[in-house]
Homo-oligomer: A and B are copies of this chain.
Amino acid sequence: MVNEMTQKIQIGKLAMLVASLTPDELEPFAASLEEVQYCQGKAGSMDIQKVIAAVETAAKRNGIISQDVYRETHALYHAILESLEGVMRGQLGVGNMMRTVGLRFAIVRGEPYDRKEEGDWIAVAFYGTIGAPVKGLEHETFGLGINHI
């Protein structure tokens, strides 16, 4: 399937790998990761507002988006929301009641397309466990959002 793609860099796949692999597992992908800007972080709470803030702060601190330009924050914000749709699977509204054990996120920015005009795009991936508010009761969850920036 990879061949069918018109993308030279798969920022979404890279974001998924950074969010879910251990450092050892990630090593074979080091070359691909050099072609993009990326960072990762953790969101310990499942207050959606705090999760969004954690991702935005990480993106700005690591220079992945500009501190001052609203359009970059706007692009990232919608990529986060799309990613959270996958995490919550249609139940964003009930999200705050959930307990999570270590939701890890990755932000990847790069030029996925050959044509220069397509410019930069951003991918946000979440991976972790989500569960009922009782310890030990959870399963994995994942989300990916992509936007032009």
Contact = CB atoms under 8 A, between A and B. Distances in A.
Copies of this protein, total? 6
Chain A contact residues, majority secondary structure: mixed
B134 A73 contact: yes
Contacts of A147: 74
A13 B70 CA distance: 20
B141 A144 contact: yes
Contacts of A115: 69
A10 B140 CA distance: 7
Contacts of A118: 69-71
21 contacts: A1-B42, A6-B136, A12-B139, A16-B16, A16-B20, A16-B142, A66-B117, A70-B136, A71-B148, A73-B132, A74-B137, A74-B139, A81-B91, A82-B89, A85-B85, A85-B86, A90-B90, A91-B92, A93-B93, A141-B144, A142-B143
